[in-house]
Structure 1
């Protein structure tokens, strides 16, 4: 899911088992995870301001497998890759899509969630069947995400207006208020919003890209990647990964993942 490189803006340390300064490197017993905590159902704050979500639970399960404490470093999406580069945390878990351009700068674990950019419309409106039907519409996306990239790419050949928002929740609020006609968003995010509010939103059959989600790691940290892959393998085998998907998304989107990238860049 998500997202392209941006400019570092702010880092706020928050979450479970919080200790020390975000700028310090891990000593090996703590796995520091950078995340944008405004992205349900992957990572977000509940009514009690507790960090929750699919990847939050997954990170804690990974910590259990590796015998490591998990520390979440909450940061805005725009600066999340710069935070990894500056070693403010060890990895990114923030619904991050694997893309060819990111593979030039980072390594990834094996994907743990299927994903692609899809189109969401208001409930009761005619469902779109092709990207060309975006013509003349106002299309909401989260700024500097792969949804933004995909919409921008299709905008080169189809004339529509792109409205960009800082947070994905703002795109859905804008559509409910009548300010945008459709939304381009990550598949899992779209499913979550449709499931929670089926009277307001509906999912179309248009899949613009295929970009599975994985944990992002600095290129030199191959040993950490291998450890994380081992933990993920164990969680797949014992059913934990699929159980978490069902818990947060209502179905299993963690098996039979199409790893062939089809990304608009």
Structure 2
């Protein structure tokens, strides 16, 4: 009788231990992934308040392909980066340009989109058509973007003043109201905005910029980064990636 009780107890302990192990399985991991709030067509809210866009759909497609779970945290670009650096988020996908400076702090995925920079002015502005026309005037940029980096690189050459904004819509409004005469923005973002009637027009050819990447803190969440890279290859091969891009960016 005693032997039977011992066997029953051993079985119970084994079941409890197994349940405990299954609770810590990687399959139950929910990654916290931060993103921007207004960077259409990569991330923005639709009429129902849901976050949509290229980044959102690429992440969703890759998570389905690789079988991982995530919680999306739309924080704004600067807040998203701060959350990553303070370990409050596991990764960032927010139209984030891969640069040498950032690669000192983050590990990036393979590029998922190649971008560039353009200058835009109010749709009614006929005076600003080239960089030389910016002399002595105010130019709007969004903090942390490729557009801001490019504008800073030519600021001394063309002698203009920079005005910084945290969100693209505020930057556009500053140009439309005439406080700034122009802004610099990522080409696909500006192209999408113009197609949606943002009141601006592009006046320069696209300057080649950096590619966008999915970022994790350096030497952390390597398994998530590997899954993103593998999934990116898969959705490009099965046509899902092209379907997402074509949905948001017109192919001429």
Q: Distance in 2 between matches of 1:82 and 1:124?
A: 38
1:162 aligned counterpart, secondary structure = strand
What per-residue deviation string (whole Å, max 9, x for no partner) do you get for residues 104-145 of structure 1?
111111111111221112225459675344323321111343
Match of 1:155 in 2: 155
* Distance change (3 Å), C-alpha of 1:219 and 1:28: farther
Q: Distance in 2 between matches of 1:235 and 1:127?
A: 45
* Distance change (3 Å), C-alpha of 1:88 and 1:27: farther
Match of 1:202 in 2: 201
What per-residue deviation string (whole Å, max 9, x for no partner) do you get for residues 154-178 of structure 1?
1122211212222111111222222
1:215 partnered with 2:214: yes
Match of 1:180 in 2: 180
Of the structure 1 ranges 89-98 and 66-75, higher mean CA displacement relative to structure 2 is found in 66-75
* Distance change (3 Å), C-alpha of 1:84 and 1:228: same
Q: Distance in 2 between matches of 1:127 and 1:99?
A: 33
Q: Distance in 1 between matches of 2:43 and 2:127?
A: 29
Q: Distance in 2 between matches of 1:128 and 1:150?
A: 18
* Distance change (3 Å), C-alpha of 1:127 and 1:118: farther
Q: Distance in 2 between matches of 1:218 and 1:188?
A: 26
Q: Distance in 2 between matches of 1:128 and 1:104?
A: 37
Match of 1:234 in 2: 234
Could you list the runs of 5+ residues in structure 2 that have no partner in the other structure? 1-25
TM-score by length of 2: 0.81
Q: Distance in 2 between matches of 1:47 and 1:69?
A: 25
Note if contact 2:27-2:68 (Cα within 8 Å) is conserved in structure 1. Answer: no
Q: Distance in 1 between matches of 2:129 and 2:114?
A: 21
Aligned residues: 226
Could you list the runs of 5+ residues in structure 1 that have no partner in the other structure? 1-25, 253-265
Note if contact 1:129-1:206 (Cα within 8 Å) is conserved in structure 2. Answer: no
* Distance change (3 Å), C-alpha of 1:244 and 1:132: same
What per-residue deviation string (whole Å, max 9, x for no partner) do you get for residues 154-213 of structure 1?
112221121222211111122222222111011111111111127x32223333441111
Of the structure 1 ranges 132-141 and 211-220, higher mean CA displacement relative to structure 2 is found in 132-141
Supply the RMSD in Å over aligned alpha carbons: 2.3
Q: Distance in 2 between matches of 1:93 and 1:74?
A: 10
Of the structure 1 ranges 177-186 and 74-83, higher mean CA displacement relative to structure 2 is found in 74-83
Match of 2:74 in 1: 74
Match of 2:37 in 1: 37
Q: Distance in 2 between matches of 1:231 and 1:86?
A: 27
1:141 aligned counterpart, secondary structure = strand
* Distance change (3 Å), C-alpha of 1:140 and 1:57: same
Higher-helix-fraction structure: 2
Match of 2:104 in 1: 104
